[in-house]
Every structure is written in C-alpha cells, then in structure tokens.
Structure 1
Amino acid sequence: MQALIIIDMQQGMASPAAGQRNNPGAEQNIAALLDAWRAAGATVVHVRHMSRTPGSPFWPGQPGAEFQPRLAPLAREHVVEKNVPDCFVNSGLERWLRVRGIDDVVLVGVSTNNSVEASARSAGNLGFATRVVADACYAYAQTDYAGAPRSADDVHYMALSNLDGEYAAIVDTASTLATLRS
C-alpha cells in the first residue's frame, strides 16, 4: 500500500515574505495528486510544521501555521505535526504507516531542500519505497556556504539530485497519477 505525504503546505509558505521560489505550478500539481488519492480512497497524510520559536509564522495559533485551504486535510486524513524538518522524527509517522501496512510513500510539498529532502532521506533509510514528485515540490533561492547566490531552481534541482537513486526515485505528477490509476 502507498500513502501520499503532503509536507508543510501551510499559509506561511504561500506568503511572498517566504522568498523567491521556483515551480509556481507546484500547488496545482499537489492538488491534482490529492484529488486523485482521495478519489481512489488511498491514504493521505498531511504534515504541518509547528515552530518552537515564538514569533515565527509557524508558531501554534499563527495564521501561517494553518494549512492552505485548497490543500487542507479532510477529517478522515491523518495529520502529523513536527518541530524539525524531518516528518519522521518524534512524530510517530513511521509506526502509523507500518501499522497500516504502508510501505510505499509519495512525498510532495515544501521546501525541496529542507523538509522534503530530510523526510525522503529518512523514508528511504527506513526501508520505504520512496518517491519525490519533482514538480509538486518547490524551493527558495538562497546563498550557498561559499557566499554564492543560488536560484530557487538551483537549490531545488540539487536537493533532488541528492536524493535520486540513493534515498528516493524522482518522478513527476503525470507519471505518479498514471501509476496510481494502474
């Protein structure tokens, strides 16, 4: 069995203050995957980052911590709250998946080089068949350790390269939808 895991699609991530990002169609692709999973009666897990830093947009009770309305969980869908990038750390997610016989996970969300990458590494290391949907994730531009500015695309594609083949298969929305339907 497989699960769609939607990572950190919260209102704070949709804010322009979050920074320059890539992949403007990511939310549309996530919504298409979510709709397909729901139509198939397949397992959906929503992950929400809850900051431990007072004043953070992701501090409990802040509007930024709320799910984006189009991607909000239904009552029957599992919600995981995390305080670190990796959704498997101190969340009970691994056990929740194993109890349900889920051994295949499809990861989408934000940001590619942070929570998505950290969670994909853990999923792969824990033995889950792991897929990251490249066009249903996005990253933000940032400066690298050497001080060079990197575009959001650079950051996104490097994170996917870090995962590809070692921890996860990198796929796209169309192929993922085709696999779900078969």
Structure 2
Amino acid sequence: MSESANGKAPRRALIVVDVQNDYDGGNLAIKHPPFRDSVANVARAMDAAAEAGVKVVVIKQLAPETSPVFAKGSHGAELHPEISRRSRDHYIEKTLPSAFTGTDLEEWLRANAIDTITVIGYMTHNCDLSTVIHAVHMGFAVEFLSDATGSLPYANSAGYASAEDIHRVVTVVLQSRFAAVLKTAEWIDCLKTGTLPERDTIFASNQRALARSAA
C-alpha cells in the first residue's frame, strides 16, 4: 500500500456535508454538477467507504424555523433519502459553514486516529470550502471529490458567477494547496489499490498557468 507523507497509509474518514432536501430542487437547488448526478456519487462514495472500512461522518446544517433554507423541522432541512438510508459512524448538526465550528468533529477524528478526511456534499464553495480550509489549518490531509458536490449561481454587488464558474474555480484553488481533488471513481480506486491521489502546490499551479498563457 502506498504511504502518505508521514510514512504511513492514510487513515481516512468520509465527511458527508449537508446533503439535504433543500439542495434537491428546493430553495437552494444545486445547478452544477446536476444534483441527480452528484448525489449518486455521494451514495457511491458512502458505499465504497463502508466496504473499505472507512468511517463515515454525516453532517446536517440547521437554521432557525423562520429561515428560507434548512429551517428546523422543515422537509428541506432533512437529510436526502439517499443519505438517511445509509449507515454512518457519526452524526453532527451544525449552524455555521465549517463542519468543525461548534461541533465535536475534530475531537471525534482525533479519537479515531484519523489523519485524512475526504469531503463530499454541498456546497462546493461554501460549507465544503470552509470545512476543507479549516481541516488543513488543523493539520489534517484533505481529499475532495469534485463530482460528489455542486454549486449554484450567485449575483450580488460584487458581480455575477455561474454555478459552473464557481465550482470550477473553487476546485482549481483547492487542488493548488488545500486538497487532493479527484473524481469519485478515482477515489474508490485509491481505496482499492492504496494509491495516493495527486497533490499540487501554489507555485507549480501558477507556473503551468503562465506556460499556458505564453503558448
């Protein structure tokens, strides 16, 4: 089996972030990649993790009852059926973007000797991004499955960005420093073979971009 930078095989946990009904055509409908495709990959990753003995943590976002999304007690706040019917090793409810803030996630990971987390779920640019960066600052290695997540479009005083633009840019940024970004099928293959996913650096990513611009 391949080894991580510390000379040991990674001890992974799969972090399933906020796969809730509001994202499935609700008040925060995921647009890219399409929800039906990404949630299928979330399910595939959960099944592969269970088969490989990788612990699964399910996260759920909650908001006040008056909130337009994730309101406590609402259908939109409930876990998507593909997630609720699958087994998990730990369950966390949160109120802020990062799955670490105000929760016992770090304590649970340390207690289970986890050194690598694989983040899936929603949204690429919000709770996933916050969780990934938070994890890196805590010393965890991070993997991110780009087809088991998704984004939606934004327009505000800073401008407009499509769901595809947001998803693409965030995944490129994550791969440059914060996480190994890969597809679900590639991750499942890593579980089976012990191969470690490719990681990159800010400098190398920038150099490739400069070379591409000069070509």
TM beyond 0.5? yes
Name which of 132, 151, 174 aligns with 2:185.
Answer: 174
Q: 1:47 to 1:20 in 2, by over 3 A?
A: closer
Q: Deviations over 1:18-50 (max 9, x none)?
A: 246111211111111111111223200001001
Measure the CA separation in 2 of the matches of 1:101 and 1:73.
27
Contact persistence 2:65–2:73 (CA under 8 A): no
Answer with 1 or 2: which has the greater Rg: 2
Query: Which amino acid is the alignment partner of residue 39 of structure 2?
Result: E
Measure the CA separation in 1 of the matches of 2:98 and 2:65.
17
TM-score, with normalisation over the residues of structure 2? Answer: 0.79
Name which of 162, 166, 173 aligns with 2:173.
Answer: 162
Match in the other structure for 2:202: none
Name which of 60, 74, 82 aligns with 1:48.
Answer: 60
Q: 1:76 to 1:139 in 2, by over 3 A?
A: closer
Measure the CA separation in 2 of the matches of 1:73 and 1:38.
13
Q: 1:104 to 1:157 in 2, by over 3 A?
A: same
Measure the CA separation in 1 of the matches of 2:88 and 2:67.
31
Match in the other structure for 1:89: 101
Measure the CA separation in 2 of the matches of 1:103 and 1:20.
30
Q: 1:16 to 1:82 in 2, by over 3 A?
A: closer
Deviation at 1:59, TM superposition (A): 1.9
Q: Which runs of 5+ in 2 are unaligned?
A: 1-10, 194-215
Measure the CA separation in 1 of the matches of 2:139 and 2:30.
34
Measure the CA separation in 2 of the matches of 1:146 and 1:157.
18
Residue 76 of structure 2 corresponds to residue 64 of structure 1: yes
Match in the other structure for 1:11: 21
Q: 1:107 to 1:73 in 2, by over 3 A?
A: farther
TM-score, with normalisation over the residues of structure 1? Answer: 0.92
Query: Which amino acid is the alignment partner of residue 102 of structure 1?
Result: I
Measure the CA separation in 2 of the matches of 1:22 and 1:6.
18
Query: Which amino acid is the alignment partner of residue 11 of structure 1?
Result: N
Q: 1:26 to 1:75 in 2, by over 3 A?
A: closer
Match in the other structure for 1:130: 142
Identical positions, percent? 30
Match in the other structure for 2:48: 36
Contact persistence 2:119–2:143 (CA under 8 A): yes
Match in the other structure for 1:153: 164
Higher relative contact order (CA 8 A, sep 6+): 1
How many aligned positions are there? 181
